[in-house]
Structure 1
Amino acid sequence: MKKTLLFTSLMCAGLSMSALAAAPALMPYPAKLSQQQGYFSLPATLGFSVSQMGDARLALLKQQLQQSLNTQLVDNNQAASLQIHVKQSANADYPALGDDESYSLKINSQGIRIDAATELGALRAAQTLRQLAFEHQGKLPFVSIQDSPRFPWRGLMIDSARHFMPLDAIYRQLDGMASAKLNVFHWHLTDDQGWRLESKTYPKLQELASDGLYYTQDDIRKVVDYARQLGIRVVPEFDVPGHASAIATAYPELISLPGPYQLERHWGVFEPLLDPSNPKVYTFIDAMVGEIASLFPDPYLHIGGDEINPKQWQQSESVAAYMTEHKLADHHELHTHFNAKVQKILARHGKKMMGWDEIFHPDLPKDIMIQSWQGLDSLAQTAMAGYQGLLSTGFYIDQPQKTAYHYRNEPIPANDFVAPKISNDTQWQQWQFEMPRLKGSAVKGEFVIFTQADGSRQGYIQVNKQQTRMLKDIETLGSLTRFWLDTWMGPMQFEVSLNSTKSLDGRILIGNSPYSVRGKQLGSGQGNNNAPQVVKPTHFEPQSADNILGGEATIWSEIITGENLDLRIWPRLYAIAERFWSAKTLTDKDEMYRRLAVMHEYGTKVGLAYADQQQAGFASLVSKGADLSPLYTLAEIVEQAQYYTRHHIKFQADAYHHGERLDRFVDFLPAESLALVALDRTISQVKPTDNTALSKVDETLSTWQQQLPAMRELVNTNSELLPLAPVVTDIEQTLQLSRQLVANCRNSAINQAEGETLRNQLWQLAEVRQEMVIGLAHSTERLLERCSN
């Protein structure tokens, strides 16, 4: 059984009900849309005319529209009810950064008309038309749309190096990208765990460092051509000088220390580095860039350049001598020197250098592109120095995160810092905190909270010595103080007791995953006397915003395979695509989720396989012919542990490697439960003793509770599911607490003592288990707050 979900309970707080009912569920949402009364009914046969479009693109476009409109398109220039007018002559060549993608789409009683300056604009308009046709089934609302993208670079990076991604999976993602108006496919092809690009000049790369899983040059040409037809550029990534274990396996003579080397089977950052003192390294790079340039027409070539472990350079006598000869003080200067030489090689082949934050240096030409995984501070520095940049921090979709978190992630720094107000009556507390992680160093920082005489509060925080950020929604919950901010890890929510001057108690939620926190008070007081100085963050110069060209979502594949790739990416990539395409002011998360629920259905119609992947994954865990409904219910109640919690759990268990199984129940969960999103929306409307919203909440809880016997039976009778038995027991307890809370809330508000007891129980039920979190426990805690005094 394939289960699909529509969440009609999601409402848009920013629009009236009549406006909401009329707003098309488009994503990305157009820049300007007006809707009139009436519909154009789609006939079985529709006259079709197109001007100025190349044959290959026209054939693909016609196929897509016939499928989406469910009608036969017949070429008829004289009496066409679907007209597409492209102003420029057919440009079937490769798309370029900054091409005009604007379009207008008008639907009225005479039919459908698309006008665009270029073929790319017509392609983007067709995607809007397809979405309208899906939502309205057989008839199209009368609309007038004027649309163009906010950013020219709107990308998705897929890592085919750690786990090889089959070609059919790549083609599917290109179709999905086109449906979301994304226009750059960044293809990560080399890393420590594999070389996935056929080389004619250095064949041992694929022979010894690919496990036989690589793309032939013919494969790549076909992918690039198909992407071109969709109006998508393809940017390859060839990692140098680090992430080089695959190169070391095939050609150890290019590495800074002698081997032998072998392909890495674990995940992480490893030691092999190309030897900058060896002329053969530059011969190798020159040959590889030449081959890559013959396959990928895009002007940009991504060199990686990140996560350099300098150990080999520091131990190499030849590298030390080379640094002395060239007066290079440390490995940072050596890295910049190496990048400058690589940039010149790229330039000889007509390529522009692109890389991660670490390649940034003012000695490099201004035409390089910096992709930021280190965050807005780094991106702002790049842009203000005159370099073009992209944001990827906050769009790491290999992390299971709430779509709302990605949707809040704005590529242009906001300059939204508000200085603290300190009067004679202002109370302040300053705290130091430390949050241990399961892998890597602890997250550390300081925060300060100012409380005014009227009870209003402001707060500021520095995390890992980054720039000061403002705390959001500081509130008191019984004995706890809660506040949050978005970080590179995801939304970081503090729920801590500040009543003791000696220690900090409570927890920090990174997404849905609880982490312990420890700390101490650094000081407290009233007024300006000894009040902590809040360091204002660097002001982002608005004139530098033009240097930020957009962003890329990234899907690293340590715990992702072709069997669940679609499930990890979609449908939330539609919301990220909206952040890149649509107006900055489009921020209402409830309205976003309303439309995302429709896109969840739509994505399967354009060929994305996330529903099929989940169904196949669930079916593989049970006996043939078993009813999968209980597993779908389970998947509504639990979620993957968010951030990189799953990765870190595997690391602690010595299972963070290529041989780890990725076919358990948790591997076939989506990034978030849209059923819980819908429940939380209803909970936000709950008031004590008001039965309307409470009844809706209880109806959902009751439906889930009725599935418990079947869920327990399925888990207990299938060995692959048996480890989930304790989770099901905890779900049963969570549902009991939730329904009891609903019953109590119908009668009266919950007092503080009852609330504290219930909160402690829910915190225990929300602990990570089997790499999952019972998301319902978090929802029930929200219900507790709505029902409390």
Structure 2
Amino acid sequence: MKFAIVPTHVFALVFLLAGAAMAQPQTRNLMPVPQSVDWQQGKFRLTQDLTVGINGLPHDRLYAYTGRVVQRLSGRTGFLHWPVQIGHQHTQGSLQITVEQPGTPALYADESYTISVSENQISLRAPNDLGAMRGLETLLQLLEADEEGYYFPAVAIQDAPRFPWRGLMLDVSRHFLPIEVIYRNLDAMAAMKLNVFHWHLSDDHGWRVELRSVPELHRLASDGQYYTQEQIRSVIAYAEARGIWVMPEIDVPGHGSAILTALPQLGSKDMEYDLARNAGIFDPTLDPTNEEVYVVLEKIIAEMVALFPSPYFHIGGDENEGHHWDENPNIQEFMQVNGIEDNHELQGYFNARLHKILAKYDREMMGWEEILAEGIPESTVIHSWRGANEGLPAKQSLVQAAKAGYPVVLSNGYYIDLMYPTQDHYLVDPMPEKGRLTAEEEKLILGGEATMWSELVTPLTVDSRIWPRTAAIAERFWSDASITDLDDMQRRLKVVSYQLEELGLQHLHAREVILRNLTRNGDVATLRELVEVCEPLQGYTRNPLGVYYTVHSPYTLFADACMADARLARDFNAAAKDFVATVKGAEAVISQLERWATLHERLSPTLAGNPVLLEVKEQSKALSDAARMALIAMDVISGQKALPADYVDQAEHVLNHAAEQEGGRTQLANLPGLRTLVEAAVGENLD
């Protein structure tokens, strides 16, 4: 690295004391952080006569991409004339982009670039247009302003991705996501330098691709919600124009309810199948002993590979518990005759058959870690996903696969649908700890994917479950492993979150839509105060056993307005800790506590007038009660009041009661800060 990260202790609290000056951090607002950054003296002043020269042998997409970046630059500055002159072989342009040859979005494509900003010119150089597009995103993040106007600071940057596979998986089976949702997330992926869009197109809840060779699938197993072939092609073209390649997933042999709803003769059990409506693991499974299964799968694959140029085809292969195989006497006889000892070996047989079909169409197989078995070709990519939530050590399958010679992509630790805080994802590195793999085995770690399973999202809310946390994950895939400063990451992530809105993402806007709906366009501001300190229950606790929600449940409720990393709560927790350590900033902390102490009283009319909000009534009261306990603690810490006689027992009861609240399937995220203040006042930890 050309620079060392300077730790910064940044609070984004709206009530932070004014004048808390802080030196410009070395990372500025860059995300992902480039591999090498050398800040220099001087500024390139942005003026209305900006011109862009594109030189060398670029792909045509670079012109359109450059135009879109300049439009975003114009939107941020408000004065650039549009269109800005963008010319080929225009060597006098104030922004010079030089590429050696056209690029192709693919694994191991060269995405490197260099940027040189001086007072007179900006130079962006890359081996191909892919690197140039990545560099343009970095350049846009460099924009700063002072009293004289907008400028780019003088700098020399050399950059390239750490991992070649940097993906986002979208599940469109459990809840269908219209094409517009896909487009805007591809734009955000490009902005964050992600390069693989993994499209999970089938599961128990629906089949989402128009197939003319097997039309029963989209006609009978989609509820009428699927992508036409024209839409599929448009998504692939849209992605390629942004340096992203698209990999399809058809999940087999398990997760088969949708396929078997359309084609029940392929099932392992003679029964009437239907689309799943709840979350969970279901029994419907393709019959691996039925030759018609492979005939149909070849039809599917043949038509899919004609749509998707991706060299990789994801077959799923996860969570097949084999119950219907166990119940089928013909399958049991097949296993006995062929010396197949268990269901894992039987699935290995199925995967081998599927691999032959894929090889016929010049495609490599990828699947979730359950496909890892002796005998599958070493070109197969293993998708590692299980860990602590499944009762297994983290990265166990990743290490096993790499040691067996298989390329691996990691998703364990990047399940963004589980609503864990950003830091939990950010500190997970795709590369195992030193010593677990040899240098040659480490080369098999291709990178990682953030995974957005859609049981609990709709087109309105999905962006808020992906972004901005996935921007931090994208940094983990791109930047040097040493970039781990959590405070600095959070500071930059806040900036990036607002910038992503210019791409059409709804991650911030959706909250306001939901709040207006919940209050019937009433007192949104007071309800927002509660939302800003609540987070959806994490992991699988919001929807245990899949019984709280169905596909058709309303996803416009209180929990859907809440986001992971409730920023106000996180910043308050940090401020409370800082106050206890320094006894500074009391006014700001007290001001916030006073608002929370009166929140329930102020919110009560809204709760009473909107029955849908009664689920958070007790949570609102618990917050106000806990805030009042913290206000007493502030007086004690400041020496203004002695500790009341019954305070310890009362405070312990109030805090524990608040911690037990799960109103609207959410939890109060500011309790750590409140507890910090109370425990400092009493001089002991409260359990």
TM-score w.r.t. the length of structure 1 is 0.79
- Whether the aligned pair in 1 keeps the contact of 2:72 and 2:502 (CA below 8 Å) is no
> How far apart, in 2, do the equivalents of 1:759 and 1:541 lie?
51
The partner residue of 2:497 within 600, 604, 608 is: 600
2:17 is matched with none
The one-letter amino acid of 2:419's match is P
Residue aligning to 1:699: 591
CA distance in 2, matches of 1:38, 1:245: 62
Residue 635 of structure 1 corresponds to which residue in structure 2? 531
Q: Is the Cα–Cα contact under 8 Å of residues 340 and 346 in structure 2 kept in the other structure?
A: yes
Matched, 1:132 2:137: no
Question: What does 1:339-354 correspond to in 2, within 5 Å?
Answer: 339-354=351-366
The answer to whether 1:212 aligns with 2:224 is yes
- CA distance in structure 1 between the partners assigned to 2:422 and 2:619 by the alignment: 25
Match of 2:279 among 267, 278, 282: 267
- Tell me what 2:73 maps to: 68
C-alpha separation between the residues in 2 aligned to 1:341 and 1:135? 60
SS in 2 for 1:266: coil
1:606-625 aligned within 5 A: 606-624=503-521
Match of 1:325 in 2: 337
Partners of 2:248 and 2:484 in 1: CA distance: 32
Instruction: Decide which of 31, 48, 56 is 2:61's aligned counterpart.
Output: 56
Q: How far 1:308 moved relative to its partner?
A: 0.7
Quote the offset at 1:763 in angstroms: 2.0
1:27 aligns with: 31
The Cα RMSD (Å) is 2.4
Distance 1:9 1:589 in 2: 16
Task: Say if 1:714 and 1:295 are closer, same or farther in 2 by CA, change over 3 A.
Answer: same
What is the DSSP-based 3-state SS (H/G/I as helix, E as strand, rest coil) of the residue aligned with 1:682?
Answer: helix
Change (3 A) 1:543 1:760: farther
CA deviations 1:693-742 (Å, max 9, x no partner) are 33332233234446554433322222332332222211211211122222
In structure 2, the residue matched to 1:387 is 406
Q: Percent identity?
A: 37
What's the offset of the Cα at 1:646? Answer: 0.6
In the TM superposition, what whole-angstrom CA distance separates every residue of 1:302-332 from its partner, at most 9, and x where no partner exists? 0000011211112222212322332211111
Q: Deviations over 1:265-312 (max 9, x none)?
A: 122111111111111111111111111101111100000000112111
The partner residue of 1:203 within 175, 198, 215 is 215
Partner of 2:264 in structure 1?
252
Counterpart of 2:562 in structure 1 is: 669
Q: Return the offset for 1:188.
A: 0.5
Counterpart residue type for residue 655 of structure 1: Y
Is 2:619–2:658's contact at 8 Å kept on the other side of the alignment? no
Aligned to 2:470: 573
More displaced stretch, 227-236 vs 258-267:
258-267
Alignment deviations for residues 376-401 of structure 1 (CA, whole Å, 9 cap, x no partner)? 11111111111111111111000111
Aligned residue runs from structure 1 range 696-775, under 5 A: 696-705=588-597, 708-747=600-639, 758-767=651-660, 768-775=662-669
Range moving further from structure 2, 754-763 or 218-227: 754-763
Helix, strand or coil for the counterpart of 1:113? strand
| Residue aligned with 1:687, SS | helix
Partners of 2:646 and 2:58 in 1: how far apart?
70
Specify the alignment match of 2:295 in structure 1: 283
Q: C-alpha displacement at 1:629, in angstroms?
A: 1.4
Structure 2 unaligned regions, length at least 5: 1-9, 15-19, 388-394
- Alpha-carbon separation, structure 1, partners of 2:163 and 2:648: 47
Q: CA deviation at 1:369?
A: 0.6
Match status 1:401 vs 2:420: yes
Instruction: Give the stretch that moved more between structures: 713-722 or 269-278.
Output: 713-722
Amino acid at match of 1:129: L
In structure 1, the residue matched to 2:449 is 552
547 and 17 in structure 1: CA distance in 2 versus 1, 3 angstrom threshold = farther
| Structure 2 counterpart of 1:773, one-letter code | Q
Find the aligned partners of 1:755 and 1:415 in 2 and give their Cα distance.
47
More helix as a share of residues: 2
Please report how far the alpha carbon of residue 154 of structure 1 lies from its aligned counterpart in structure 2 after TM superposition.
0.6
* 1:39-72 CA-partner distances (Å, limit 9, x unpaired): 2221113111112222234213312223224424
In structure 1, the residue matched to 2:3 is none
Deviation at 1:745, TM superposition (A): 1.4
Matched, 1:655 2:548: yes
Name the structure 1 match of 2:391.
none
CA distance in 1: counterparts of 2:243 and 2:448, whole angstroms: 17
* Counterparts in 2 of 1:292 and 1:142: CA distance versus 1, 3 Å: same
Equivalent residues of 1:134, 1:602 under 8 A apart: no
User: 763-772 vs 171-180, which deviates more?
Assistant: 763-772
Q: Which amino acid aligns with 2:430?
A: P
Summarize deviations over 1:449-498 as a string: whole Å, max 9, x none. xxxxxxxxxxxxxxxxxxxxxxxxxxxxxxxxxxxxxxxxxxxxxxxxxx
Give the secondary-structure state (helix, strand or coil) at the position aligned to 1:224: helix
Q: 1:8 to 1:118 in 2, by over 3 A?
A: same
Contact 2:33 2:475 (8 Å CA) reproduced: yes
**Which residue of structure 1 aligns with residue 98 of structure 2?**
85
Gap change, CA 1:244 and 1:668, over 3 Å in 2: same
Contact 1:204 1:251 in 2 (8 A): yes
Q: Give runs of aligned pairs for residues 388-537 of structure 1, distance below 5 A.
A: 388-415=407-434
Distance in 2 separating the partners of 1:246 and 1:367: 29
Residue number among 454, 459, 463 corresponding to 1:562 in the alignment: 459
CA distance in 1, matches of 2:118, 2:188: 28
| Matched letter for residue 86 of structure 1 | V
What residue number does 2:109 align with?
99
User: For residue 651 of structure 2, what is the amino acid of its counterpart?
Assistant: L
SS in 1 for 2:367: strand
For residue 110 of structure 1, what is the aligned residue in structure 2?
Answer: 120
8 Å Cα contact 1:198-1:216 kept in structure 2: yes
Question: What amino acid sits opposite 2:504 in the alignment?
Answer: G
Q: How far did 1:160 drift?
A: 0.1
Distance 2:305 2:48 in 1: 46
* Shift in CA distance, 80/616, structure 1 to aligned 2, threshold 3 Å: same
Q: Which residue of 2 aligns with 1:426?
A: none
1:160 has 2:172 as partner: yes
Amino acid at match of 2:672: H
Q: Secondary structure at the match of 2:529?
A: helix
Code of the residue aligned with 1:678 in structure 2: it is D
Distance across 1 between alignment mates of 2:645 and 2:315: 57
The number of residues matched between the two structures is 649
How big is the shift at 1:546?
A: 1.2
Task: Identify the range of structure 1 (729-738 vs 710-719) with the bigger mean alpha-carbon deviation.
Answer: 710-719
Match of 1:38 in 2: 42
Q: Which has the larger displacement, 600-609 or 568-577? A: 600-609
Q: Partners of 1:68 and 1:239 in 2: how far apart?
A: 41
> How far apart, in 2, do the equivalents of 1:623 and 1:751 lie?
43
Whole-Å separation in 2 of the counterparts to 1:752 and 1:584:
51
